[in-house]
Amino acid sequence: MDVLKLSRRALALALGVVAAAPAALAETNAGDTAWILTATALVLMMTLPALALFYGGLVQAKNVLSVLSQCVVIACLMSILWLAAGYAIAFGDGGALNSVWGGLEKAFLSGVTAESEVGTLPESVFFMFQMTFAIITPALMVGAYPERVSFGSVLIMSSLWMLLVYAPVCHWVWGGGWLYDMGVRDYAGGLVVHATAGASSLLIAKLLGPRAHFPKDMHPPHSPVFVMIGAGMLWVGWYGFNAGSALTAGTAAGSAMLVTHLSASTAALVWMAIEWVRFGRPGLVGVVTGLVAGLATITPAAGSVGPVGAIVIGALASVVCFYAVTLIRGKLKIDDSLDVFAVHGVGGILGTLIIPALAAVGPMAPGLGGVSVGQQAGVQALGVLAVVAWSLIATAIIYFVTNRIVRFRVKSEQEIEGLDTTSHGERAYHMG
């Protein structure tokens, strides 16, 4: 989703490539608006209930409500913060600092009216669509530190992180910032969503330390059923995530939806095959983990590859992410509990870097629009390095500031008893 700044109150659609020059502001289109309203609902569904169920099923039964609570409250809190400052930072005009910062001129939607437009959309609809991305990105990070983190610290850290990491990177890539000007391609969030959340999650997991039972006494997911239901809803919601990022109801949306589906399908099958060969049987949790890896990896490339490229991306996603899980858990002993970096971070980075190699492969492949493969590869690599570096630096500062305000890790006895009762005074299941 590449958006070209036209004025201080409007952005025009560039449909997955960097536009050569500003175009005239289009009139609001009812079909485009209807589709993006639908896509907005689909992306919100990805957090509530899809991600909540997916993560909730992966943890122990005594911690499932804590994960659901974090997802729900993050969704509410990020919505208010997006209105207050996030949208302005990401899509405002920062003047002399515009290459890195959108400013606060649009804070609380200042200057936005019922007639304000972004491309062919009412700006209110564009605001809402982008808000769902700002919701799910910090919510993804919940998977890095469940079962051992205090509820208050999650809220403080998520708030600061969205404003200081997500929103600025969003501006760099989509809001007319310096990476946008360089021509970096990130159709729907390989850098903005997955690389930022993945890199930050890995660092937090390292700083926070492993759960008490990691890695010697690992507990299986308490509800593979929840995991499957959540993953299925993520798959459906991802159509809004990727196809909605076209910002129109036209051919670009259709192509993005097609390649999204093919990548996810391929990745699920490949992950299943890897587990079948290595462990002698295919596991349901593994299949849907591969599915999510395929979705994350196609996200930045959804506007830059055709169906053949999507199948290649899906296959590579499962192979690379599977061994990333093994490396991080087994070799590095980092308790990135639900594999946020190994699946989302690695997937988003892989999808971003592979665009130049696959942009012209097979039917319906759009190509690079006259840019050489080498030139685009350099831009993509620079984008990854810059986004990951900023995510790590800012997250380290946010972590230590948060830990000074609220103890980040719960006490050992709370971890043993479970966060559902110690943090929320409730139980997911009552036996007998």
- What tens digit of pLDDT does each residue of 337-374 get? 999 999 999 999 999 999 999 999 999 999 999 999 99
List, for residues 187-202, the tens digit of each pLDDT value. 999 999 999 999 999 9
For the residues 280-286, what does the mean pLDDT come to? 97
SS3 419: helix
User: Which of 352, 339, 343, 340 lies closest to 319 in space, CA to CA?
Assistant: 343
List, for residues 91-124, the tens digit of each pLDDT value. 999 999 999 999 999 999 999 999 999 999 999 9
What average pLDDT does the structure give for the chain? 93
Residue 431 pLDDT greater than 80, yes or no: no
Can you tell me the distance from the alpha carbon of 337 to that of 22, in angstroms, rounded to the nearest whole number? 45
Can you tell me the distance from the alpha carbon of 316 to that of 188, in angstroms, rounded to the nearest whole number? 19
Contact 349, 384 (CB under 8 A): yes
* Residue tagged 């971003």 (tokens): 352
Can you tell me the distance from the alpha carbon of 49 to that of 236, in angstroms, rounded to the nearest whole number? 12
User: Which of 63, 52, 55 lies closest to 415 in space, CA to CA?
Assistant: 63
Residue 1 pLDDT greater than 60, yes or no: no
List, for residues 364-391, the tens digit of each pLDDT value. 999 999 999 999 999 999 999 999 999 9
User: Which of 299, 276, 275, 289 lies closest to 232 in space, CA to CA?
Assistant: 289
Say how far residue 250 (Cα) sits from the centre of its chain.
Answer: 24
List, for residues 322-332, the tens digit of each pLDDT value. 999 999 999 99
Token pair in block for residue 290: 């591969």
Residue 14 pLDDT greater than 60, yes or no: no
Can you tell me the distance from the alpha carbon of 351 to that of 345, in angstroms, rounded to the nearest whole number? 10
Q: Tell me the residue type at 245.
A: S
Can you tell me the distance from the alpha carbon of 78 to that of 193, in angstroms, rounded to the nearest whole number? 14
H helix or E strand, kind and range, residue 423: helix 419-424
pTM, rounded to two decimals: 0.94
Give the per-residue pLDDT at 272.
98
Contact 57, 223 (CB under 8 A): yes
User: Which of 235, 161, 241, 233 lies closest to 201 in space, CA to CA?
Assistant: 161
Percent of the chain whose pLDDT exceeds 90: 92
Residue 75 pLDDT greater than 80, yes or no: yes
Percent helix, strand and coil across the chain, each to the nearest 5: 70, 5, 30
Residue 245 is classified by DSSP as G
Q: What domains appear along the chain, each with residue ranges and CATH number?
A: 29-418 (1.10.3430.10)
Token pair in block for residue 316: 């590579």
